[in-house]
Amino acid sequence: MRLKDKIALVTGAAGGIGSVTVKRFAEEGATVILSDINEEGCMRALKEIEDRGGKGSVILADVTKENEIISMFSQVKKDYGRLDILANIAGGDFENQVAVDEISYEKMSYNIDANLKSCILCCREAAKIMMEQQYGKIINMSSLVYRGSPMQFTYSAAKGGVFAFTRSMALTLGMYNITVNALAPALIEVDIIKNTIGPEMWEALSFITGQIIEISGGGGL
């Protein structure tokens, strides 16, 4: 029970990655707050958690809207008085497989809103709570495409922004006993991806290999 008595907020909690995250947090003893625009998906995940003896609640929010983000964190503070963990998982590629000369301003803007601005704003609001309590863990969802990806131009740009922002936050918040890290996965075992690449290719993939993991306190020294 590594997260016993911790309060954890997960955005995108109704999605494939988000729903697994909240269930795992609950298994480790955390009280989980599920946030998404998909109420049905959140309630389904919460029921599974409660059926297994876990605790949680749902706060619906569209993280592309600043006022809803502010309201969500205000509700967390009101209901629980603290926030120990924030996992920013909400997002997705809303302009996939588009040629560079066909980039849409509307879809570009939504990709940045959903993946980068939402992360920045959620981190900002979480930091207000965590700095006051002198403790916190923030996990942001980047992607391997932060290094660049053909036909995923605006999504790559947004996830590259998450990478840079995460490092900036980590360097700033360390003195408050707050850690900020980002995950940069490639393919994740969710139905839409497994169905696209097929079961044989999926089984052949090996995900953590050839990596250099720095243990440097965030400063790289």
Catalytic residue positions, numbered: 155
- 26: nearest Cα among 43, 42, 41, 7: 7
Give the C-alpha separation, 163 to 159, whole Å. Answer: 6
Give the C-alpha separation, 74 to 163, whole Å. Answer: 26
What torsion, rounded to 10 degrees, do the Cα atoms 49, 207, 100, 141 define? 40
- DSSP letters, 100-148, are GGG--HHHHHHHHIIIIIHHHHHHHHHHHHHHHHT-EEEEEE--GGGG-
Go through 117-128 and write b for each residue having 16 or more CB atoms within 10 A of its CB, e for each that does not: bbbbbbbebbbe
What torsion, rounded to 10 degrees, do the Cα atoms 75, 65, 12, 135 define? -50
